Amino acid sequence: MVRLHLQRTAMATLFEMWLLGEDMEHLAAVGEAAWDEILRIEKMLSRFDPAAETARVNRTAAAGPVLVDYELFAVLEDCLFWNKETQGAFDIGAVAGVSFAEAVRMDLSSRTVQFLDDRMQLDFGGYGKGYALDAAARILNQFAVGSALMHGGTSSVLAVGVQEDGTPWPVGVQDPFTREPRELRQIPLTNCGLSTSATFAPGAETSDLVDPRRAGPLDQRVACVVAAPTALEAEVLSTALLAMGKPRARKYLEGRTPLDLFQVLWIEQHEESSILNEIFPLPSSAVS
Amino acid sequence: MLAAAGCIAREAQSAESRPPVRVAVVGTGGRGSDLIRKLTTIDRAQIVAVCDDYPPHLEQGRKYAGPEARSFENYSHMLSEMTPQAVVVATPLVQHYGMCREALDAGCAVFCEKTMCHTVEEAKTLTALIEKTGAVFQVGLQRRANAVYSQAAAMVDAGMLGQITAIKCQWHRNNPWRRPVPVGKDHPDWPDLERRLNWRLYWEYSQGLMTELASHQLDVANRLLKSLPRRVIGVGGIDYWRDGREVFDIVFCIYEYELPQPVFREKEAKSGRSDAPSEATAFSAEPYKVRVTYSSLQNNAFEGASELVMGTKGTLFLTQQKGLFYREYGADDPGWSRDGRIDRDASIITSGKTLKMSNDPWVHRGKPFEIDNQSDDTRDELVAFLQNVQDQNPETICNARTGYENALTVLLGNQAMREGRSIEFPTESS
Ligand SMILES: NC(=O)c1ccc[n+]([C@@H]2O[C@H](COP(=O)([O-])OP(=O)(O)OC[C@H]3O[C@@H](n4cnc5c(N)ncnc54)[C@H](O)[C@@H]3O)[C@@H](O)[C@H]2O)c1
């Protein structure tokens, strides 16, 4: 068995892939195809690349309805779904300081998008990496690569199958708030997405994440780790749960089954050191 | 920084009532799918059909084109069932000629992906046909719709680079350029599928790096120099990816251009003040030569796809996303010693302190003037094409003549490498 490692930059971060198989030439070709798929999605979802579809919508949709392609329209519908599902906590308008559900009019029959608030800017920062990893995994599947680990910027991870020795892919969760590396937990992953969101980068004074309800930066030093069936769900939920804060997040998770969501970990600061707790499934309710 | 606007303005003007152009797309692989997705965002396009003879790709094309488009596995069958106004050809190079002809014969406008044709003969015949009928035809060299390159052409024309002496074009990447095959090597279908999917690697369907990559950049050279080359030498080989491919995985060509036109020369600043606006003087003497180098590597991606245009007064570094203009420090340079001020009475301003420059070895480059692309050139080239279809205007942004000259340029480069000798370009155009 051979292992291919691929490392490239996209979406203003580093992506890596490890693919396992029998034939290096095949793995290299599949790796390139998966990589092309990630780049294709960046060209759809980036607000920074002027040639991207999202950048075009951001430039023009305040002036009137803009025709978008089928896939972007479906992505926007999905974002609206998640916005409702998370009671507003996941919001692709948050960075612009407006509520996506209120600031955007989407018309299915004409496949158009219009901004009703001229501050509105689509921002897929909490969506795109997961979406891209899931799409890359479909390429791997199409070309019969059954074992792989991929990540975008380390915060979004997707594991396919198992390693050479049959064990799941181990992912270490590091303390987000200390400068010297300290591993808080190791999570074995197989056929599963994982995403971490932290309110603060190590050593940062203010958060780069926005609380959509208060329209200001998040202020608690907390982080949320979500393992879910897809990288997209993990990413959307880790972003949303973090924005909700622990009490609301707990409430939101109540009554769910570990089938829709495998695991949610919460990291917070207690007397200057970070502690990690499982908030889903709750340790007491953990059957099997 | 300059934000160049390209074709956006033209699109905005025409919130119009003309019915959209009925477009069919043949070849729904990588590029065809991109074009389909762009077309679905353009008001003046309506995709009526997609066609591909490989079912998994056809399925992908249908998904992107939406439920209203019909789908066909056979191109001739599609054209017998319907007459689209325009056909977009995004199939392997070897198919371009036949498919373009069929569409033109059916009275359609054609957008043909680069490179126009697999052989010079084909490109010549197709061009003659198009010029005779006045059909609307465009080759998919999207830098023609890119504001960075329009700005570069304008700067060259305005004499900002002085006399161009050389252009260095490269498209370097670091990957095998190989597409995966959905079945294993031991499967009976593998050999056929491999050739079909990896058509770029075989001479029978492709002309390798020259047609697949160099065509974009040698079109930039022809455009900026407003001329075809006179001769080309080159070397190529398969030196890294020895995996059964036929086409070179590394190519180096040198093209020689002879430019008879007047050129811009700076006035010898013997008497005049060096900061007086320099007049570009028309200067015509012996034809002078410009050398254009082209290289493609597939195992080092430093500076990727880019062109470096070198003139006596300045240098342009061009990419699709961004262009940079660096001045050469020369006779009419306002000078570092003036700190940006123009003082009419003093040639040098001194104040007791040595002018501080960095010790950075690249300091001589100075601060570049930046040209930013603000748009998607592939979408813009389609918008421009569709407008010409609506206007029945054969003067597209990359017409058959340009496509022919581009094909000739890249194909003779291949010939030079394959035959190991210098190849002369035909002197009579076409
Ligand atoms: N302008 C650009 O930047 C750019 C980029 C990539 C490719 N291209 C050009 O686009 C063209 C296609 O390249 P690609 O990378 O998409 O290749 P591809 O192999 O991904 O797609 C070609 C498609 O044509 C189909 N096809 C082949 N023969 C056919 C036939 N007889 N009838 C119907 N369909 C047929 C194939 O099944 C395949 O789906 C080439 O000319 C290439 O140079 C241009």
Mutate to test the pocket of ligand 1, among B25, B26, B28, B31 (most ligand atoms within 8 A of CB): B31
CA distances from B96 to B268, B393, B401 (A): 51, 22, 16
Q: What is the pLDDT of residue A113?
A: 98
CA distances from B221 to A62, A221, B172, B226, B288 (A): 39, 55, 17, 8, 16
- Is A158:A18 a contact under the CB 8 Å cutoff? no
Q: What is the pLDDT of residue A282?
A: 80
CA distance B89 to B70: 16
Cβ contact, residue pair B184, A144, below 8 Å: yes
Which residue, among B31, B35, B37, B187, would best test binding to A if mutated, counting the most A CBs under 10 Å from its CB?
A: B37
> What is the atom index within ligand 1 of the atom nearest the CA of B211?
43
Q: Which CATH number fits domain B147-328+364-374: 3.40.1010.10, 3.40.50.720, 3.30.360.10, 3.40.50.2300?
A: 3.30.360.10
Distance B27 CA to ligand 1 centre (A): 5
Cβ contact, residue pair A28, B178, below 8 Å: yes
Q: What is the pLDDT of residue B285?
A: 64
- Mean pLDDT within A92-103: 94
CA distance A67 to B217: 32
CA distance B145 to B157: 18
B373–A contact, CB cutoff 8 A: yes
Q: What is the pLDDT of residue A117?
A: 97
Rg for chain A (alpha carbons), in Å?
19
> What is the atom index within ligand 1 of the atom nearest the CA of B54?
37
Cβ contact, residue pair A25, B243, below 8 Å: yes
Q: What is the pLDDT of residue B152?
A: 97
B238: helix, strand or coil: coil
For every residue of B251-281, DSSP letters joined together read EEEEEEEEE-S-EEEPPP-SSS-TTSPPPPE
Q: Does the CB atom of residue B53 touch ligand 1 within 6 A?
A: yes
Q: What is the pLDDT of residue B337?
A: 52
Q: Which B residues, 301 through 330, put their C-beta within 8 Å of a C-beta on chain A?
A: 320-321
Cβ contact, residue pair A51, B40, below 8 Å: no
Mutate to test the pocket of ligand 1, among B52, B138, B197 (most ligand atoms within 8 A of CB): B52
* All CATH 3.30.360.10 domain ranges in chain B, comma separated: 147-328+364-374
- Is B250:B298 a contact under the CB 8 Å cutoff? yes
**pLDDT mean across residues, chain A:** 92
Q: Which CATH number fits domain A168-286: 3.40.50.970, 3.40.50.1000, 3.40.366.10, 3.10.520.10?
A: 3.10.520.10
Chain position carrying tokens 């692989």:
B29
Is A201 a residue whose pLDDT tops 50?
A: yes
Residue whose Cα lies nearest atom 6 of ligand 1: it is B31
B3: helix, strand or coil: strand
Domain residue ranges of chain A, discontinuous segments joined by +? 53-115, 168-286
Q: What is the pLDDT of residue A262?
A: 86
Q: What is the pLDDT of residue A181?
A: 82
The residue among A210 and A231 whose pLDDT is bigger is: A231
Distance B92 CA to ligand 1 centre (A): 4
pLDDT, tens only, A4-43? 999 999 999 999 999 999 999 999 999 999 999 999 999 9
Chain position carrying tokens 């920062």:
A125
CA distance A179 to A158: 26
Tally C-beta pairs within 8 A across A and B: 71
- Is B263:B288 a contact under the CB 8 Å cutoff? yes
CA distance A125 to A206: 18
Q: What is the pLDDT of residue A288?
A: 37
pTM (predicted TM-score): 0.91
The residue among A256 and B350 whose pLDDT is bigger is: A256
B67–A contact, CB cutoff 8 A: no
How much of chain A is in helix, strand and coil states, percent to nearest 5? 30, 30, 40
Q: Does the CB atom of residue B34 touch ligand 1 within 6 A?
A: no
For chain A, the maximum distance between any two Cα atoms, rounded to a whole number of angstroms, is 57
In DSSP terms, B23 is beta-bridged to B47, B86
Alpha helices for chain A (secondary structure H): 24-45, 53-60, 70-85, 100-103, 128-142, 231-244, 246-253
Cβ neighbours of A19 in B, within 8 Å: none
What is the crossing angle of helices A24-45 and A128-142, to 10°?
150
Domain spanning B14-142+379-406, CATH class: alpha beta
Amino acid at A95: V
CA distance A281 to A250: 10
pLDDT, tens only, A145-175? 999 999 999 999 999 999 999 999 999 999 8
According to the 3-state scheme, what is the secondary structure of B298-344? Answer: CCCCCCCEEEEEEECCEEEEECCCEEEEEECCCCCCCCHHHCCCCCC
Shortest alpha-carbon distance between residue B37 and chain A (Å):
6
For residue A55, the chain B residue with the least C-alpha distance is B375
CA distance B389 to B400: 15
> What is the atom index within ligand 1 of the atom nearest the CA of B57?
39
CA distance B141 to B143: 6
Cβ neighbours of B378 in A, within 8 Å: 51
Tell me which residue of A187, A213, A209, A181 sits closest to A197, measured CA to CA: A209
pLDDT, tens only, A124-139? 999 999 999 999 999 9
Cβ contact, residue pair A67, B321, below 8 Å: no
Cβ contact, residue pair B176, A36, below 8 Å: no
Torsional sign, CA A71, A75, A77, A81: positive
Distance B114 CA to ligand 1 centre (A): 10
Cβ contact, residue pair A70, B182, below 8 Å: no
What is the band of A225 on the pLDDT scale with cuts at 50, 70, 90? very high
pLDDT less than 70: residues of chain B: 1-16, 261-285, 330-347, 349, 355-357, 428-430
Shortest alpha-carbon distance between residue B386 and chain A (Å):
16
B20–A contact, CB cutoff 8 A: no
CA distances from B312 to B157, B162, B268, B340 (A): 14, 5, 13, 22
Eight-class DSSP state of A164: T
